[in-house]
């Protein structure tokens, strides 16, 4: 016997559109034509009877499962590590179901509309991440602007945004970067500061320090940079793996957003059906 799955119904299981509700007069019955759905439905007294039916419908499967459990002997379940454990009791599951008033309160604090907005934002962010990665193929220009090295050993580098990477033995460069953060430096001012102070700090450690500077036009490609300083790194395989994982993540985010949108349509359809059945 499997345990009750409460992941999707314990708090706010549904999503809806982001348009606002038009509140009806207290003396006018709710009808479907009066409304555009929005987060305000959870605090609108006129929507309470419809939302209560929706709440009951949502938790009905869990209540039915609890009723069936009461007629059976307690079930033993096997955990992921292979040990046996007693399933929660019907009373324990019952306590996990919020009252209708508590459910309404929960929706007002973190509603389905919030999840809808969050899923849309996450999807857009993931799309941008994939697009950025697609534009960073191995043979595209790198963002490298300064390389600190000694002989055939790279000590660290600065990218076009003033970001710093340092290798073992070049902790002084990271210290300079941290100081730039404390000074609130950004952009070119930050890059110039790290170049100047980083060169000073590293030259005290490495008498044969070499500092190579690049522009947008002279920067090596990502492949060239990798072959020069990281010859054992398989840049093609690394890029292919990163791109595949990013696209898989995008597919997952799209599926999540689609599921939220489906829940949105289901909720709207159900509530509209209830309102259409009400007398005008």
| pLDDT score of 19 | 35
11: DSSP letter: S
pLDDT tens for each residue of the chain, 280 residues long: 445 444 433 334 433 333 333 333 333 344 455 567 888 899 989 899 999 999 999 999 999 999 999 888 877 777 778 787 777 888 999 999 999 999 999 988 888 888 889 999 999 999 999 999 999 999 999 999 999 999 999 999 999 988 999 987 788 999 999 999 999 999 889 999 999 999 999 999 999 999 999 999 999 999 999 999 999 999 999 999 999 999 999 999 999 999 998 988 898 899 999 988 876 5
The Cα 143–Cα 131 span in angstroms is: 16
pLDDT value of residue 217: 94
- The conformational region for residue 220 under phi > 0 = left, psi -120 to 50 = alpha, else beta, is beta
Can you tell me the distance from the alpha carbon of 66 to that of 51, in angstroms, rounded to the nearest whole number? 22
d(CA 275, CA 51): 11
Tokens found for residue 31: 């009808």
Q: Find tokens 């941290």 and name the residue.
A: 178
For residue 145, the SS3 value is strand
Backbone dihedral angles phi then psi of residue 12, each to the nearest 5 degrees: -135, 85
Distance from chain centroid for Cα 215: 35
Per-residue model confidence (pLDDT) at position 168: 76
Residue 41, Cβ neighbours under 10 Å: how many? 24
How many residues in total does the chain contain? 280
Strand order in the sheet with 164-166: 164-166, 153-159, 144-150, 210-213
């Amino acid at each position: 016997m499997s345990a009750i799955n409460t992941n999707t119904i314990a708090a706010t299981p549904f999503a809806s559109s982001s348009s606002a509700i038009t509140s009806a007069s207290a003396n006018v019955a709710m009808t479907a034509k009066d409304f555009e759905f929005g987060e305000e439905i959870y605090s609108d007294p006129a929507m309470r009877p419809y939302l209560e039916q929706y709440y009951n419908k949502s938790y009905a499967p869990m209540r039915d499962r609890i009723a069936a459990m009461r007629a059976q002997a307690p079930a033993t379940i096997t955990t992921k590590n292979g040990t046996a454990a007693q399933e929660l009791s019907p009373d324990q599951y019952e306590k996990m179901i919020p009252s209708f008033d508590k459910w309404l309160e929960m929706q007002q604090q973190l509603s389905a509309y919030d999840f809808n907005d969050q899923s849309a934002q996450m999807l857009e962010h993931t799309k941008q991440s994939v697009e950025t990665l697609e534009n960073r193929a191995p043979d595209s220009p790198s963002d490298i602007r300064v390389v600190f090295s000694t002989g055939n050993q790279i000590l660290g580098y600065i990218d076009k945004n003033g970001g710093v990477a340092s290798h073992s033995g070049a902790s002084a460069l990271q210290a300079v970067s941290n100081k730039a953060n404390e000074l609130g430096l950004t952009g070119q001012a930050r890059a110039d500061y790290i170049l100047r102070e980083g060169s000073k700090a590293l030259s005290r450690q490495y008498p044969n320090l070499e500092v190579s500077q690049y522009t947008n036009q002279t920067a090596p490609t990502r492949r060239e940079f990798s072959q020069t300083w990281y010859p054992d790194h398989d840049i093609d395989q690394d890029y292919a793996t990163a791109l595949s994982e990013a696209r898989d993540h995008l597919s997952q985010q799209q599926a999540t957003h689609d599921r939220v949108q489906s829940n949105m349509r289901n909720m709207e359809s159900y509530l509209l059906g209830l309102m259409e059945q009400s007398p005008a």
